[in-house]
Each structure stands twice: as C-alpha cells, then as structure tokens.
Amino acid sequence: MDSTPNDYAPPSRTEGAGDDGEFNLMALVPRLSQVGTAMSRGSLVERAMQQAAPGLDQPSMNVLMQLRMAGKPLRVGEIAHRMQVVGPHVTRQVNELERRRLARRVVDPDDQRARLVESTPEGTATVERYLHTVFGVFDEALADWSAEDRRAFSRLLGRFADDVAAHLAHLDAQDRDPQRD
Amino acid sequence: MDSTPNDYAPPSRTEGAGDDGEFNLMALVPRLSQVGTAMSRGSLVERAMQQAAPGLDQPSMNVLMQLRMAGKPLRVGEIAHRMQVVGPHVTRQVNELERRRLARRVVDPDDQRARLVESTPEGTATVERYLHTVFGVFDEALADWSAEDRRAFSRLLGRFADDVAAHLAHLDAQDRDPQRD
DNA sequence: TATTGTTATACTCTATAACTATA
DNA sequence: TATAGTTATAGAGTATAACAATA
C-alpha cells in the first residue's frame, strides 16, 4: 500500500527522458518540503547522527556544524543567528556539548560579556563523521548525474535560497516600517 | 541583510572547496537547510498562515495542502504517509480541522474501518489563500530568473528529491533486511 | 489475527520572559 | 542605559504505547 507521495506533481520517474519541461510553482512546493524534511527529521539525519554521535541531539550537531563551516570559534549570538534560532536555545546546546567535551566556552578577549564557543578535537571529529555520512548519501544518490547538472543544481539552489531570503527580508522590513518602499 | 550563511567558506580540508562554478557538496548542505527552515518555520510560512487562517496551526494547513494536492479525499493513513508523519498526529490535526469546519471525515465505503478526510469549501478556500501567498513570494523572488533557469531548477530539484529519497529508501531497506543488497 | 484509526502520554525543538554581568 | 548570555518556563510539532473497531 505505500502509494506514491507524488500524484500531485507528475514529474519524473526521472530515469527515462521527458521531464515535463514546464515550470510549475505548484510542483515546487512539495519538493521543497520534502527536502526540508530530509534535512531536519528524515532518515538521512537519523542515520548520520547514529554514525557520528549516538545520543547527541540534532541541534547540538547543528552547532558543531556552524563551527565547522565558520572554521573559527563563534559567539553564542552569532551561532544563534546562523542557525536562525534564538539565544537561549544555543545556550542549552552548548551546555550539552560542553558536558560531552565536544565544545568549550572561552571568554571573548574583546568583550568580557561575550563567550566564544570553540570545537574540541573530539567535537571536530564528530562533525566530520556526521558530514561523511551525509556526503556519502548525497554522493551515491547523485551518482548518475552529469557534472553539468550538478553544477547547475548547486548554482540554482544557491540562487533560489538567496533570492527567497532577500525577498522575505524585504517584506519583513516593510512590515516593520510601512513608510518605506 | 547582514551576514548570511554565505560566510561558510569550508575550512581548508574540504574536498575541492571550489569557487561558485564548482560543484561542492559542502556548499549544498547549508542551502538545503536554509530552504528547509523557510518551508517549516521561517517568515514565509508565518506570513502565509497569517493571511490564510490566523490561529490555525501549521500541520493542519499541511493536511489541507495534501488534500489540495491529491485533488480528492484521502484516508488518515495516506495523509500521514504523504506528510511523512505518524497516524495519531494526523488524527489530531483532522480533529482541529473538523472543529473549524475546514474538513470532515466520512466513512470509507470500501472499508468500514477507514475514514476518508475531505476538505470543505471553506477548507479549500483557506488553502488557496495560503498557496496564493506562498506563490506570490516565490514569484516575486524569482522575478529576474530566465524561463530556462526556472525550468532547470524545477527539473533538478525534483530529480534531487527523488534520487535522495530513493537512495535512502534503499539504505533503510538494507538496514531492515541485511540479506539483500 | 492483521489492519485502520483514536486516545493518552511523552519527547524534541524552539520561543518568551526575567535575570546577571559586563559595557 | 544597552548588550551578551543564562535560567526558567511555555508552546508547537511529532512520536510511542495501549486500545477499539472492523476486516
């Protein structure tokens, strides 16, 4: 019983040829949701968490990921901003990471109020294991893709994320300050 | 906008950390997360919910969306499957939708155990308002895109979602039944 | 005996409010 | 007085377990 989740958007089955070729916003939405689910609570992250740090929670791994992507220690507020969450949330995850010796806090020399969160070697190794699993899945899933399609997807996804974010920021600013526009 | 997730220059040891034209998995991950956040708890959905049905919760709207995309009444279990959630979760949202007269349950004539959930006219109007807002934002955000880029993005995103889902389903099946391969 | 759905309960993620300590 | 972070608490979203009705 397991019917296809995709009656709405006929595209693909992909293997053969003819994608329908149309641009249809209605078809885009379920795909975006699908990707969102995969990145937050699907078997991909479940699998990667299991490989990398059984028992650790997802947001804590997300903190480690932010540190990994930044390549340097970050303030609590900066991590919160990058994760698109609120300060206290980060505090709790950093507590957990510190308890597990995956990260530590040091006072920011430039501002005694602030704390810099930095990954420990074990923290770095943990997030590397996580990314190894995630990349492995993507890599195998995209095994059949042409180099050109990969580049195009990367470019278009980045542009899409940027353009949507920028437009929403514009709308939000308008809401806060109806004068402008 | 201030510092966007774009600072993420992967620290040196990433595979082929190339420039914009390259395909770099490490660059893909934050973009996918960003899109996921937008679709689940960003200002896009907040805005659309506010326009369409202030006070209604997001998963209930998601149920209405599934009915809209299917174009026909669906069983509780089928809705759960399409939403990638578990049965009891859907039951609660359908209760809420019924309370608000946005959907109703009818016994499935083919199986007295099952219930078919169908949208009321008000439910349909509600989800149309929601989609109108979402499509409006996307449409404006993508205003500058060429028709070709739109088609390419639609095609590649669909293929990506399908290929990742298929590969994960394969891995999950392997986990459950290590015999196979 | 297996399946569809519901009720009751608990867990995870995230937000808001009140507070502490620097600035 | 404003800012960085923390503590305490509350809410939204989702899962698991036990059950009822029908197959």
pLDDT at A153: 97
How far apart CA B23 and CA B20 sit, in angstroms, is 8
Whether A11 shows a pLDDT value over 70: the answer reads no
* Mean predicted lDDT score pLDDT of chain B: 89
- pLDDT tens per residue across span B19-70: 456 788 899 999 999 999 999 999 999 999 999 999 999 999 999 999 999 9
User: What local confidence, expressed as pLDDT, does residue A13 receive?
Assistant: 32
Over residues A137-156, mean pLDDT? 97
pLDDT-based confidence at A21, cuts 50/70/90?
low
* % of chain A exceeding 70 in pLDDT: 87
The Å distance, CA of B83 to C1' of C3, is 20
> How many Cβ contacts (< 8 angstroms) between chains A and B?
227
Q: Give the integer Cα–Cα distance in Å for A19 and B151.
A: 10
Rounded to an integer, the average pLDDT of B145-151 is 97
Q: Which residues in chain B are closer than 8 Å to A42, comparing Cβ atoms?
A: 84, 168
- pTM attached to this predicted model: 0.89
The pLDDT value given to residue B175: 85
Q: Per the CB < 8 Å rule, is A70 touching B8?
A: yes
- The shortest C-alpha distance from B161 to chain A (Å) reads 6
Q: Please tell me which residue, A173 or B119, carries the higher pLDDT value.
A: B119
> pLDDT higher for A13 or A77?
A77
CB atoms B31 and A153 under 8 Å: no
Q: Is A164 exposed, middle or buried (0-12, 13-18, 19+ CB in 10 A)?
A: buried
pLDDT of residue A23: 84
Checking if the pLDDT of B181 tops 90, the result is: no
Q: How confident is the model at residue B85 (pLDDT cuts 50, 70, 90)?
A: very high
Q: In which band, very low, low, confident or very high, does the pLDDT at A20 lie, cut at 50, 70 and 90? A: low
Does residue A32 carry a pLDDT above 60?
yes
Checking if the pLDDT of A178 tops 60, the result is yes
CB proximity under 8 Å: B 110-139 to A = 131, 134-135, 137-139
Closest CA relative to residue B90, chosen from B110, B72, B71, B67:
B67
B3 pLDDT higher than 90: no
Assess whether pLDDT exceeds 60 at residue A3: no
pLDDT category of residue A175 using cuts at 50, 70 and 90 = confident
| % of chain B at pLDDT higher than 70 | 87
> Can you give the pLDDT at residue A181?
64
pLDDT band at A8 (very low <50, low <70, confident <90, very high): very low
Q: Average pLDDT, stretch A156-166?
A: 97
Cα–Cα dist B53/B73, whole Å: 21
B169 CA vs C11 C1’ separation (Å): 25
Q: What is the pLDDT of residue A2?
A: 35
pLDDT for residue B176? 80
In chain A, pLDDT over 90 holds for what percent of residues? 81
> Band of the pLDDT at A108, cuts 50, 70, 90?
very high
Please answer yes or no on whether B154 and A22 come within 8 Å at the CB atom: yes
pLDDT of B15 strictly over 70: no
Is residue B154 less than 8 Å (CB to CB) from chain A?
yes
From CA B165, how far away is CA A115, in angstroms rounded?
40
What pLDDT was estimated at residue B79? 98
Task: Kindly report the average pLDDT of chain A as a whole number.
Answer: 89
User: How far apart (Å, rounded) are the C-alpha atoms in residues B77 and B115?
Assistant: 9
